[in-house]
Each structure stands twice: as C-alpha cells, then as structure tokens.
Amino acid sequence: MNTKPVKLIFFFVLMFIMSCNEPETVVTNYVHPDGSVTRKLEMKSIEGDKNKRFKISEIQVPFDMTWSIKDSFALSKKNDTIWFRTAEKLFKNVEELNLAYKSDSGANKGLSRETGFSKKFKWFNTEYRYSEKIDKNFSSGYPVKEFMNEEELRYFYSPETLKETEASGADSLKYKALGDSVKLKTDDWTAHNIISEWISEFSKLTAARKDEEITFQLLKSKEHGFVKEIEKDDKGLDSLWKNGIILKKFIGEKNAVKYRIEADSALSMVTKKLMLNFSDYSLRIAMPGRLIGTNGFIDSSHILLWPVKSDYFFTEPYEMWAESKTTNIWTWVVSGLFLAFVVTGVIVRLIKKD
C-alpha cells in the first residue's frame, strides 16, 4: 500500500506552508470616492537572470504587461544589484478587480480572493468601506483566537517591520518572550487544526458504514489525546503511521485495520491542502477622506498596511478592511442657506407684527 508520509504533514507544524516570496511585493490600493481603485505594485528582486525576474507566474497578485510599468535598480551595501519594478493600473470598480482575481495566473492563483466597496450618503458626510478577503484553506480548523490572548494575537498579525522595531526597543526581552510564546502556541494550534481536518475527512469517508465506534463526535472527543500522542515522538511519526501504531491508539486495533485505506486517503487530502502554493506579500490601502475604522496597521508612510501570509487564512477567512468619511460641503451650504431663510422669515414676521 502506498502510504503518504505522515512526517511530511507535521513538518508544517514547525515550518508551516512553504513559499519563496520572490519577488518581494507591496500592493497599494488607492480607493477613490467613485469606487474606482488605482492599484500600485512595488516589487523588489535579487534575481540576476532577466528572463526569470518579475515573471508573471511568480507575482503574488493579478498583473500583466498592460499596466504602466517602470523598472530600475540599485546597489546594496554588499554591492549586489537589487532590481525594482513599479506598476500601476486604474480599475473602474471592484468588479474589475474581482474579475482579475478570478483569472489570475500568478503565484497565488489557487486562492479565492474578493474585494468589496460600499458608499453611504449621510447628508453632512459620505462614508466609504473597502475590503479584501481571502477564503479559508481548512474547513474544520479552529480560530487562532482560541489559542492566543489579545496581546499574542496582535503580535501574530503584526507586520515584520513592526516586530523588528519592537525587538530592538527598550522592552526587547519582553517582546522576545512574547514572540516565543506565540511560536509555541502557533505550533499547538497548527497541530490541532491538522488533526481536526483529518478527523473531518476521515469521518466523511467512513460515514456510509454507520459504525458507532468511529462517529465524528467520538473521534473529536479523542482529538486532544491524539495531538499529545503525536507530539511525544514527532521524529518517528513516519514509521508510527506506516506501522499503524498511531491509528491503533486512536481508533483501536480492529478499526485501524478495517479503515486503513480511508485513513490514508484522509491523510492525503489534508496533505494536499497543506501543500498550498502561496507567496507572501503586503497590502496597503489609502482611503478617501478621514479614516474612521480599520483592522490594519499604520506604516511609515501613514498608509494602512496588512501582511498577507498563509497562516492568516488557514482556518478562517482573512479580511482586510478600512472605513472613512468625507465632508459634503454642499450639504452644509444648503443647510446654512435653509437655516438663514427660516431665521429671516421669523424675523420678518416679528417685524410685521410690531
């Protein structure tokens, strides 16, 4: 029987989902009041071969040669050549952006991504909301907030530049301890998600047999013990799975033999989801008017920033959003004129009475 190495899966507990992240890319969306979006890509590469540099298949977001493109280069402190490409394109609305995502042929073409825009007229002000959302990868995992507190969650979602600044600051020791805690909890969260996803897939494959000894509820009740059993000997996972030892401890010797094919198939399905081809990037949003709400960070240019990493949409959708408002000057003028008209009318009446 051809068994997928279980060790491969738990490699991701430490390394998570692999990505090359080349070129290094920052995506900036300049959102206009009419709903159009000017998208700017700023890419950096150390690839020496010009035929491999900035290949469309390696760009993290939709891009083609119809964009306005400008290339340049600079020398690093070590005298290495760093190549830069800046590209801009105006999208008439978010529908155009969504069509681009659906037809993407770049590094992250396997993702389901969607943008949204809304505009609400409220007489004195007009409010805007722009968002980008990536659908989750696992269907049966746990939200990361169930494993971390608020301080740890903020660290988890923070841009690398902010982490580096904090790590070199006055509270560097405290921040390092926070980082170590987040890493341990991320590993534990990932392990639980992998087992939970395997249980879900395994239950679907065995549901038709209606065996009360391996119901979904029963398997879920054993999940924590399954994770702890695996963490005891992560180096020998491959042989433990191939020999059926892990499976026997989890569902019993008889069922381990009876459902071995389904167990291996479920493992293959989880492995496929983990082998997500993803390249990290950063997303920035500049909104019209004054910012009134967001879940992003403020970068050095005072523009909203989000890091986009595969663990952020591992078990739940990852939405980056911002809200702003502009003042409708004409409504203030109209309201002022109307008020002046009413006051003038009252005064005229009073004068006539006298």
DSSP string, 157-171: HS-HHHHHHHHTSTT
Which residue ranges in the chain fall short of pLDDT 70? 1-21, 233-236, 354
Per-residue DSSP letter, 268: H
Mean pLDDT of the chain: 88
Q: How far is CA 165 from CA 25, 161, 162, 182, 308, in A?
A: 20, 6, 5, 17, 19
pLDDT at 17: 45
**Token digits of residue 209:** 């047999």
Residues 6+ away with beta carbon under 8 Å from 121 = 328
pLDDT at 66: 93
| Residue linked to tokens 């003042």 | 327
Bond prior to 23 in cis (omega within 30° of 0): yes
pLDDT at 20: 58
The dihedral region occupied by 42, where left means phi > 0, alpha psi between -120 and 50, and beta the remainder, is: beta
Say if residues 97 and 37 touch (Cβ distance below 8 Å). yes
Say if residues 61 and 106 touch (Cβ distance below 8 Å). yes
The dihedral region occupied by 138, where left means phi > 0, alpha psi between -120 and 50, and beta the remainder, is: beta
| Residue linked to tokens 């990290």 | 280
Burial of 280 (0-12, 13-18, 19+ CB in 10 A): buried
Of the candidates 41, 35, 83, the one whose C-alpha atom is nearest the C-alpha of residue 281 is 41
CB atoms < 10 A from the CB of 279, how many?
Answer: 21
List, for residues 87-111, the tens digit of each pLDDT value: 999 999 999 999 999 999 999 998 9
Q: What is the pTM of this model?
A: 0.85
pLDDT at 245: 83
Cα-only R_g, the chain: 27
pLDDT at 2: 41
Q: 177-183 — which CB contacts under 8 Å span 24+ positions? A: 178/151, 178/152, 179/155, 181/152, 182/148, 182/152, 182/155, 182/156
pLDDT at 127: 97
pLDDT at 354: 62
